[in-house]
Structure 1
Amino acid sequence: MPTSTTRSHSAARLRVIAATALIALGLASCGTGQSAPASSSSTSATHNVEHARGTAAVPGAPKRVVVLEPVQLDTAVALGVTPVGAAVASNVKGVPAYLGEAAAAIESVGTVPEPSLEKIAALHPDLILGTESRHSALYKQLSDIAPTVFMASQADPWQDNVVLVGNALNQEAKAKELLGTYKDRCTSIASKFKVDGVTAQLVRPRDESVLSLYGPTSFAGSTLECTGLSIPDRDWEKSISVDISPERILEAKADYVFVTTTDVNDPGTIPAPIRDNAASFPEVKLVDTSYWVSGVGPLGGNAVLDDIERILQDAQ
């Protein structure tokens, strides 16, 4: 008959065996295959977001967000949410540097016109933000990966899209606060420099044969006008911009002409038609494409305001 000491040793061995089995089971579940990162959608309440495709139930505090538009990227970072992935604009190499330290932590998932479903899925997002006008055909596949919210169009008033992104991230009030700060700064610049009647035009060289002029409803155009500058009247053809040929360059005349470039320190990036008509363009200013065109959102807006304020200050 077993003694009490024998029974005690047997019980101890059983406890050790059981504990070892549990550890081995845990290691096996973690060590075989690549497990998905923890998703906030499984641990936080959801909230409903009305968007271009209806209503989506999204995590109350999304942690792994993928964005497919510049305004979504900018706004998310401004709200303190660094996306795990972002589609990048075709005219920008990688994630724009103006976003600061956050840029280095964001993986590219293709370009804005052609995001990669494979790269998006590999990041195990808990929320995807896209655009109906550009990504409509991908909505079902994106929704199969994670809850997906679509803006109607990238051409919509950008401030409305900022609010939608804020809603999707459950930070609508903060998004509206950021816009309020931006508008207050516009008012301050307009009051400081008294630019009533002063005209400004944003020109984006596409190639040697096409230049785009940006209108009042564009991101940068609306920022110019919110500081009190005026974009010359023309038929904007119900668009945020119109294209002109080099022969029509005088249509871009204004008191200030802002030209987008990837190198603001290289005057050689000023288009030849403007250089050849220097008398008609006395104030040409090179500005960074990455935020004047692609940096739509509160952070990009303030970066554009930095440039405008500096340029107006230098002119005094």
Structure 2
Amino acid sequence: MKSIPVTLVAGAAVLTLALTGCSSSGETGSADTKGTKDAKSTTRVVTDATGAEVEVPDTPKRIVTLHYAATQPVLDLGFELVGQGVFEKGIIPEDQAAAAEKVPVVAQQEPKLEEIAALEPDLIFAPNVYDEETTKALKEIAPVYTFTLRGGDRAKWTQRTEEVAEALGVPEKADELQTAFTERQKGIATKYADVIKGRTVGVIGSYEENNFYAWGEKNMQGSLLVPLGFTYSKQESDIVKDQKEPEATLSHEKLASAIGDADVLFLDSNLRGEINAFMKDLQATSLYRQLPAVKDGHVYVGGKNTVAGYTDANYTLDRVEDALKDLQAK
């Protein structure tokens, strides 16, 4: 994910799982093509995102995540944490915030090794951005499962949940979340087919002064919106097509050429429907006000553009449904 503050939301399928404890984590994980387990052992061997084999507990009890991109999947899968990476306020669902904010933060840009060790974790989830020395130090504390944060298929945000579920021994829970999410997308596509048909959608964020952030179709937001039946902005996809990942920071002057063909525009927000100060500055510019979607009143908050897990993804669908109801009424 871009090094914007990547930072914990949910539809009905997710909310019933998060922060409830590991209701099925007491069951031993079954072996599959990725992991093996001796029936008499209390550990399993799984393969992490780097290809390394990691011996993990059958039923992790003291889990630490070092980045929010793993925190949300852990919670979505019904497990609790004893330590977590830093996160921005507003990205945790309101009904979960009080409990989640009590979990100690033990990683900023780098992990706080002494504080992590004091928590006596039995499993650590680390992003695939740490150097060998840092990873080695973490392994001296507890088993370390390295998950995918950077690289890979940007549109496949589900990959992290699959990896975390494998390490926790509950791959079936990841399948359940994916099935429920896909069914929800199909339901929205059917219910609002007449509203969505022929609509071109664009998605932007802003994370620094005088610039905005464009996201191509082959990115996380594309995987959420295109299955609903929207046509993704060709201009936006084209303007980022030469990037290593289908996204880019662009100057305000490129707004019209990047998303001028979008008749519906979704803005990056937190899980309270709040946009940041940079986006507010962008909205005050004449370049923004001249966009067709803005002039037509077809601009909506869309949730987090960097999707950590099903909570984020379902929140975006919540906001999309709100937008579709508004468009339907016009």
Q: TM-score, normalised by structure 2?
A: 0.73
Within the candidate set 284, 288, 291, 2:299 is matched to 284
Q: Secondary structure at the match of 2:178?
A: helix
Structure 2 unmatched runs, 5+: 1-25, 27-39
Aligned to 2:250: 244
- Name whichever of 186-195 and 229-238 sits farther off: 229-238
Superposition deviation, residue 185 in structure 1: 0.7
Distance in 2, matches of 1:252 and 1:305, equals: 21
Q: Deviations over 1:19-48 (max 9, x none)?
A: xxxxxxxxxxxxxxxxxxxxx9xx971111
1:202 is aligned to 2:203: yes
Matching of residues 171-190 of structure 1 within 5 Å: 171-190=170-189
Q: Report what 1:167 is aligned to.
A: 166
The Cα of 1:275 is off from its aligned counterpart by 4.5
Counterpart amino acid of residue 185 in structure 2: C
In the alignment, does 2:103 pair up with 1:106?
yes
> Aligned letter for 2:199?
V
* CA RMSD, 1 decimal: 2.7
What's the secondary structure of 2:44's corresponding residue?
Answer: strand
Deviations 1:131-166 (A, max 9, x none): 223555421111111101112443432212211100
1 CA distance for matches of 2:79 and 2:134? 24
Describe the superposition over 1:210-252 as per-residue Cα deviations: whole angstroms up to 9, x where unpaired. Answer: 2111223433332122322232231431314211011111113
Q: Distance in 1 between matches of 2:77 and 2:221?
A: 21
Runs of 4+ aligned residues of structure 1 deviating over 4 Å after TM superposition are 134-137, 265-269
The reply to whether residue 192 of structure 1 matches residue 202 of structure 2 is no
Name the residue aligned to 2:70.
72
> Equivalents in 1 of 2:123, 2:221: separation in Å?
28
Summarize the alignment of residues 1-316 of structure 1 with structure 2, pairs less than 5 Å apart: 45-51=42-48, 52-89=50-87, 92-93=88-89, 96-97=92-93, 100-101=96-97, 102-111=99-108, 113-134=109-130, 136-156=132-152, 157-194=156-193, 195-233=196-234, 234=238, 235-236=240-241, 237-250=243-256, 251-253=258-260, 254-261=262-269, 264=273, 269-272=279-282, 275-277=285-287, 278-280=289-291, 281-282=293-294, 283-288=298-303, 292-316=304-328
CA distance in 1, matches of 2:103, 2:93: 11
The residue type equivalent to 1:298 in the other structure is Y
Once residues 140 and 77 of structure 2 are traced to their aligned partners in structure 1, the CA distance between those partners, rounded to angstroms, is 26
Higher RCO by CA contacts (8 Å cutoff, separation 6 or greater) = 2
In 1, are the aligned partners of 2:67 and 2:107 still within 8 Å (CA)?
no
Contact 1:95/1:108 (<8 A) preserved: no
Tell me the distance in 1 between the aligned counterparts of 2:150 and 2:51: 15
Structure 1 residue 106: Cα displacement: 2.0
**In structure 1, the residue corresponding to 2:129 is in which secondary structure?**
helix
Q: Distance between the aligned counterparts of 2:132 and 2:197, measured in 1? A: 42
Larger radius of gyration: 1
Shift of the alpha carbon at 1:298? 1.3
Tell me the distance in 1 between the aligned counterparts of 2:219 and 2:191. 24
Report what 1:34 is aligned to: none
- Change in Cα spacing, 1:103 to 1:313, as seen in structure 2 (3 Å) is same
Q: Closer, same or farther in 2 for the Cα pair 1:47/1:147, shift >3 Å?
A: same
Structure number with the higher helix fraction is 1
Range moving further from structure 2, 128-137 or 155-164 = 128-137
Closer, same or farther: CA 240–64 of 1 in aligned 2, 3 Å: farther
Q: Structure 1 length as normaliser, TM-score?
A: 0.76
Secondary structure at 1:242 match in 2: strand
Question: How many residue pairs are counted as aligned between the two chains?
Answer: 269
Once residues 275 and 69 of structure 2 are traced to their aligned partners in structure 1, the CA distance between those partners, rounded to angstroms, is 27
CA distance in 2, matches of 1:60, 1:260: 38
What percent identity do the matched residue pairs reach? 27
Q: Check 1:168–1:266 CA distance in 2 against 1; reply closer, same or farther (3 A cut).
A: closer
